Amino acid sequence: MTDLTLSGGLAAPPKRFRPAAPEPQDHEPGLLELLSPKAARNLITAIPRTAFELPYRKVRMLHLVYHGVSDPDAIKRVFVDNAQAYRRPDLVKRVLRPAIGESLFNAEGDDWQAQRRLMAPVFAPRAVGAFAPLFAEIASRSAERLGDGGLVVDMAAEATRTTLEVIDAALFGGESDMPFEETSAHVRDFMTGSTEIRLPLLFGLEGLDVGAAQRRARRSREALVRRMAAFIRRRTAEPQGPEDFVARLYAAFLAEHPPEEALQLTLDNAMVFFVAGHETTANGLAWALYLLSGDPQAQAWAREEAREAWAAAGDDPDALLGRLPYLKMIWDETLRLYPPVHRIERQAVADDELCGQPVKRGDMISVWPWVVHRHRTLWDEPDVFNPEHFDPEGRQALHRYQYIPFGAGPRVCIGMGFAQAEALILLSRWLLEYRFSPVRGREVQPQGDFSLRPEGGLPLVVERLDLWSN
């Protein structure tokens, strides 16, 4: 950003936007505090200040020992160098199994490798580039929905609607029969109720939990699974159906599994990609617009870049992606401040050592991108919005494992490239046609459950611009 020259001839650095985040706690929370309604529903509100200052913390909670790790070298050891000693925790698998079964997200070992290899071509760079016209078409429809502007619009809801259209069209041929209003409510209830910290969850008795949020989560999960299962059975029963993601997935599973098992594996993976594939990107888009609404200069620069990129790309939306370097910096900074995967848990299956401390088999490893991305020893001004963290010079100074918005190592999110291309095209189109401003008096706070979203939505003032004017 450009410096401001003062009357005395000195240059003052621009005032950076400090976006919303819960104030860290001054103490390590105990079990009762973690079970309080505020912390249980939004665990990022209970993180102690020391987590953002120390590379390692050890906490005992009931029958488990947790190692909180923020040191990039230790993160690399957990996810890369000694990844075979750490697996996804049984608790996480139990919570998710009713919805996503033995999908790519939950699978381990040879099963995981086989599924990952099967799905990799769909998300390869060339395949993602082929989706660019679809992204651009849906971006145009979203811009039309926003209309003449001048109104307060919940852009979190619009982002969810738009990414739901994208994932439905790209992977399910536009025929998943998952209407926006009903589906978004089910996804929200499932995520909120399934991850709330409660004693039955900690002891593996979540199925017996009769809390209102947990009952809603189970009903929503069942409704989502029922609709997706019906779609898959229709699709796989069609002798000459479209060769979409689901059809190819079923054919690949059928080559190695009995029909009913192939159907179940197709359903499990379809649920993962449908839910996670639109929800995490939608939240990233909402946070990007929130950050830009708080930094009008960054928004103006991104708009100017978007205008030039769309003009130069012409009828080739794929050409947009290489023409948006500043918007890419904004996207990366958005995922630093509001990572879609804000917490990652692993369980040790063998003894090890992290940060010079012993790790015993069965111990839990907590790596929180929310903490790592705001750590006082890793980032300059960690709590402010500064896209220059990701300019060429800034990026070169980063440790590879201090920025992990989609995880790390072999299990890094397979849809990362898809999400980035989708986000850049959608954001650039919105910025091309609209200016986004905060709603006066409306506070924004992050809500952390499965993903990290603006609590209660994201109302912004949306003002329509002449398409090619300043």
pLDDT at position 72 is 98
- Looking at residue 2, the DSSP 8-state letter turns out to be P
Q: Provide the token pair at 65.
A: 């020992």
* Cα(89)–Cα(100) distance, integer angstroms: 15
pLDDT at position 217 is 78
Q: Provide the token pair at 60.
A: 């005992």
- One-letter amino acid at 156 equals A
- CA torsion 130-183-289-144 (nearest 10°) is 70
CB 291 within 8 A of CB 394: no
Domain covering 88-341+405-464 in this structure, CATH number: 1.10.630.10
pLDDT tens for the 470 residues of the chain, in order: 444 444 444 444 567 899 999 999 998 888 778 777 787 788 899 999 999 999 999 998 878 899 999 999 999 999 999 999 999 888 777 767 666 777 887 888 888 888 888 888 888 888 899 999 999 999 999 999 998 878 899 999 999 999 999 999 998 888 888 887 788 888 877 777 666 665 555 555 566 556 777 788 788 888 888 888 999 988 888 777 777 888 888 888 888 889 999 899 999 888 888 887 788 999 999 999 999 999 999 999 999 999 999 999 988 989 999 999 999 999 999 999 999 889 999 999 999 999 999 999 999 999 999 999 999 999 999 999 999 999 999 999 999 999 999 999 998 989 999 999 999 999 999 999 999 999 999 999 999 877 899 999 999 999 999 754 55
pLDDT at position 241 is 72
Every domain of the chain and the residues it spans? 88-341+405-464
pLDDT at position 195 is 66
Q: Provide the token pair at 89.
A: 């925790």
pLDDT at position 6 is 40
CB 465 within 8 A of CB 434: yes
CA dist list (Å): 169 to 128, 130, 221 = 13, 13, 22
pLDDT at position 1 is 40
pLDDT at position 85 is 96
CB 187 within 8 A of CB 220: yes
Mark residue 209 as left, alpha or beta (left: phi above 0; alpha: psi -120 to 50; beta: remaining).
Answer: beta
Q: Is 361 exposed, middle or buried (0-12, 13-18, 19+ CB in 10 A)?
A: exposed
pLDDT at position 35 is 75
pLDDT at position 196 is 62
